[in-house]
């Protein structure tokens, strides 16, 4: 609560009286009785920084963390906010892995006291913890995704015909299925519209789609190509493949693959290009020659 000019002032004398009694009880080891006095002090003067801070501090020590945080948050809204309250609140947030909130408290301190040593040091700890937390989250996400991709297609509710077709096509896992396109499935003998609809529905229920694995792979490959040419040839990688002046046949084949930029093309392999219908050795030589003019080439498979 921000103290405003129109707010009713608390009873400072009563507040001070309860604070004195609270400190006396605390010195005698009766912490809960002291907390009760501090509560009375806050009721007497709800805007007292001293009473609010002492109550929050003692509540934190006895394990009443949620209530302590709530009171510290009230103090954080005061103008100016007590630095010791902001520091303690940042510590509590950091313990709960709420790093963004902890940083916000510390920045509030540093905005008014840029050289506050404890705040500066703790800010470094919080930022390091946040980065570590993000890395761990990413690792968990990757592990979870890998486990999903390794799930056998037999674990999903598919018809016998659909399962048999996938088995004959050597599609064993969900990852295998995502690396095949709709056209490739429909090109297989005995694989009809009903089976395709069934599989597409199953994937859509999981937020997935056919060919997604290939798209992800191509994005990764394109990023690797872009990274490998950092500082050189970067401009040409973002240009349209139309600028290469390829023949109509070669351009149509690249359209089938979804190749739009020179970077997309450089991320493809000879095998991928040669797998497109009507794309032969002549077109391949043409593409390699055009890329070579810019110091580029097709991606080579690593074994």
For residue 20, the domain's CATH number is 1.25.40.10
Query: Are 228 and 201 in the same domain?
Result: no
140 within some domain: no
222 within some domain: yes
186 within some domain: yes
Query: Are 225 and 196 in the same domain?
Result: no
91 within some domain: yes
Per-range mean pLDDT, top range of 46-50, 253-257, 271-275: 46-50
What is the rounded distance in angstroms from the CA atom of residue 291 to the CA atom of residue 262?
A: 8
Query: Are 157 and 170 in the same domain?
Result: yes
pLDDT in tens, 35-93: 999 999 999 999 999 999 999 999 988 888 889 999 999 999 998 899 999 999 998 98
Query: Are 232 and 261 in the same domain?
Result: yes
What is the rounded distance in angstroms from the CA atom of residue 130 to the CA atom of residue 88?
A: 18
3 within some domain: no
196 within some domain: yes
For residue 191, what is the domain's CATH number? 1.10.150.20
Question: Using 50, 70 and 90 to split pLDDT, how confident is the model at 201?
Answer: confident
Boundary of a domain, candidates 163, 192, 210 = 210
- For the chain, the domain total comes to 3
What pLDDT is recorded for position 238? 76
Q: What residues form DSSP beta bridges with 152?
A: 173
279 within some domain: yes
What pLDDT is recorded for position 23? 93
265: domain range? 213-292
Boundary of a domain, candidates 101, 135, 169 = 135
Query: Are 24 and 92 in the same domain?
Result: yes
Query: Are 182 and 279 in the same domain?
Result: no
Query: Are 109 and 33 in the same domain?
Result: yes
80 within some domain: yes
Closest CA to 195 of 169, 220, 165, 173: 165
Boundary of a domain, candidates 184, 210, 236 = 210
Query: Are 174 and 239 in the same domain?
Result: no
Q: Which of 169-173, 215-219, 236-240, 264-268 has the lowest mean pLDDT?
A: 215-219
pTM of the full structure:
0.43
């Amino acid at each position: 609560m921000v103290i405003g000019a129109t707010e009713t002032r608390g009873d400072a004398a009563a507040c001070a009286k309860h604070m004195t009694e609270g400190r006396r009880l605390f010195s005698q080891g009766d912490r809960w009785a002291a907390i009760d006095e501090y509560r009375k002090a806050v009721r007497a003067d709800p805007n007292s920084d001293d009473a609010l801070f002492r109550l929050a501090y003692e509540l934190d020590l006895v394990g009443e963390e949620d209530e302590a945080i709530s009171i510290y948050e009230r103090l954080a809204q005061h103008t100016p906010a007590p630095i010791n309250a902001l520091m303690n609140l940042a510590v509590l947030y950091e313990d709960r892995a709420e790093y963004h909130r902890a940083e916000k408290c510390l920045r509030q301190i540093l905005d008014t006291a840029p050289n506050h040593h404890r705040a500066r040091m703790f800010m470094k700890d919080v930022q390091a913890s946040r980065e570590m937390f993000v890395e761990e989250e990413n690792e968990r996400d990757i592990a979870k995704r890998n486990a999903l991709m390794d799930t056998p297609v037999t674990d999903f509710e598919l018809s016998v015909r659909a399962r048999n077709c996938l088995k004959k096509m050597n599609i064993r896992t969900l990852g295998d299925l995502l690396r095949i396109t709709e056209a490739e499935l429909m090109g297989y003998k005995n694989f009809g519209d009903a089976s395709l609809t069934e599989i597409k529905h199953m994937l859509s229920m999981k937020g997935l789609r056919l060919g997604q694995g290939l798209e992800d792979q191509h994005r990764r490959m394109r990023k690797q190509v872009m990274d490998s040419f950092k500082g050189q040839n970067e401009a040409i990688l973002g240009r349209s493949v139309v600028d290469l002046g390829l023949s109509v046949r070669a351009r149509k084949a690249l359209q089938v693959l979804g190749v739009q930029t020179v970077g997309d093309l450089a991320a493809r392999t000879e095998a991928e290009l040669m797998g497109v219908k009507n794309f032969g050795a002549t077109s391949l030589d043409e593409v390699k020659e055009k890329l070579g003019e810019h110091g580029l080439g097709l991606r080579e498979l690593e074994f």
